[in-house]
Structure formats: C-alpha cells, structure tokens
C-alpha cells in the first residue's frame, strides 16, 4: 500500500470517527483513533488538516465563558485569584518582617520562610506574568509559558531584580536597609502584579471578541 492510499484510508477513518463518535476536540479524535491502533498522532493531525483544507470538515475554536469587560468584575473571578494571593502573601510577609524580631524563636522561622518567598519568587513571578499574560490573544503569535518555564523564569527574574533594587537603593537617602529593601520589593511586586492582571484582562477581552 503506497502513501497516498494510506492517507486516503486514514482520512476515511477520521471521517467515520467524526460521524459516529462526534469528538468535541482534536485531542479526543486522536484518542479515539489511537485506541487499539498504532497510528501516529502526527499522522492523525495531518489528516485532520488535510480534510479541513479540502473543506470536508471545519475546525471551530473552542468557546468558553467570555471575559467581563469591567476590570472590577474580572478581579472577582477565579482567574484573578493569583493576583489576590500574591498581594496577600506580599503584605503578610511585610507584616511578619516588621512585627517578628530577629531571633524570636520559633516564630523567626516563619519570617525566614515567607521572606524567602517574598525575595526569590514574588517579584519575578509578578514581573513574568506582566510580560507574558496567561492567556494569549488569538490574533497574535504570542505564546503562553508552560508552568515549568514560568517557575524557572520567575525565580531567575527575581534573582536579577533584587540586586538591581539594592543597587538603586544604594544611591538613595534610604540606603540598603531592611525597611527600604522590603518596601521597595513590595512596591515592585504590587506594581508588576497590577500591570499583569490588567494585561490578562485585556487579553481575555481580545480573545472573547476574536471568538465571537
């Protein structure tokens, strides 16, 4: 059996699966076809694209709940949960740092834990979300970061931002002190998180409009 015959047979199988099983997504279609067979996923995707180009099937963008146009409403949805959690951890850390003195055991361990998160995670995480909104717009080629990339870049960005903050504070009247560093990192985190949630809201609106 040559390649063209194999392609035609696969195309026919895809059409039969679509008619009988009515899969809702391409991934579901792949799962149906690969169950009990050795058809490669790449070959199935090629067949789907081939059938779409021939006008035999139509791929529709998966529809979901539309993003609210008002930012205040968006902030009350579960998609903005990360924003409130970030602010809560940031302000909680500041409260811990300024209320629990150094050497006040065992509470000082909580100071170390939340302080490490505050320094090594929150600034970079907020900054990366501002640069790469969670949901990309449909009308651009911008890609969303996967969780592993986001974690790695967030830690790396924090390690880059914190020394810069210290360097800038060194040339201010406040200098590099606990209070000035903590306040500066808090301001940086809150600002970046606010920009990030606003960008995600706008991207969500663009995606809703693009999807009709």
For the chain, the domains span 3-53, 71-210
What pLDDT score was predicted for residue 191? 97
What pLDDT score was predicted for residue 15? 85
Is residue 20 a contact partner of residue 14, using CB atoms and an 8 Å limit?
no
**Is the pLDDT score of 206 beyond 60?**
yes
Average pLDDT, the chain: 82
The whole-model pTM stands at: 0.64
What pLDDT score was predicted for residue 67? 65
d(CA 48, CA 61): 15
What pLDDT score was predicted for residue 148? 79
CB neighbours (10 Å) of residue 197? 25
CB neighbours (10 Å) of residue 175? 12
What pLDDT score was predicted for residue 119? 94
Per-residue model confidence as pLDDT tens digits over 7-60: 788 888 888 888 887 777 777 777 877 776 677 778 888 888 888 888 888 776
Is residue 86 a contact partner of residue 189, using CB atoms and an 8 Å limit?
yes
**Is the pLDDT score of 63 beyond 60?**
no
Percentage of the residues of the chain whose pLDDT score is greater than 90:
38
- Quick one: 86 exposed, middle or buried, by C-beta within 10 A (0-12, 13-18, 19+)? buried
What pLDDT score was predicted for residue 133? 79
What pLDDT score was predicted for residue 156? 94
* 144: confidence class by pLDDT, cuts 50, 70, 90: low
**DSSP secondary structure of 15-53:** HHHHHHH--SSHHHHHHHHHTTS---HHHHHHHHHHHHH
Per-residue model confidence as pLDDT tens digits over 185-200: 999 999 999 999 999 9
């Amino acid at each position: 059996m040559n390649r063209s015959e194999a392609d035609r047979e696969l195309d026919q199988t895809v059409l039969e699966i679509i008619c009988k099983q009515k899969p809702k997504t391409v991934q579901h279609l792949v799962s149906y076809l690969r169950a009990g067979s050795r058809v490669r996923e790449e070959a199935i995707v090629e067949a789907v694209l081939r059938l779409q180009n021939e006008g035999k099937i139509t791929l529709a963008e998966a529809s979901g709940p539309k993003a609210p146009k008002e930012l205040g409403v968006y902030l009350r949805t579960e998609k903005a949960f990360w924003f409130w959690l970030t602010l809560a951890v940031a302000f909680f850390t500041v409260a811990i740092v300024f209320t629990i003195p150094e050497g006040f055991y065992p509470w000082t361990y909580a100071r170390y834990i939340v302080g490490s998160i505050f320094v090594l995670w929150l600034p970079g995480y907020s900054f990366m979300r501002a640069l790469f909104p969670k949901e990309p717009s449909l009308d651009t080629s911008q890609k969303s970061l996967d969780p592993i990339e986001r974690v790695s870049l967030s830690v790396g960005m924090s390690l880059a931002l914190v020394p810069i903050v210290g360097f800038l504070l060194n040339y201010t009247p406040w200098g590099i002190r606990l209070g000035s560093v903590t306040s500066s990192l808090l301001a940086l985190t809150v600002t970046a998180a606010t920009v990030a949630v606003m960008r995600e809201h706008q991207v969500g609106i663009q995606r809703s409009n693009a999807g009709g």
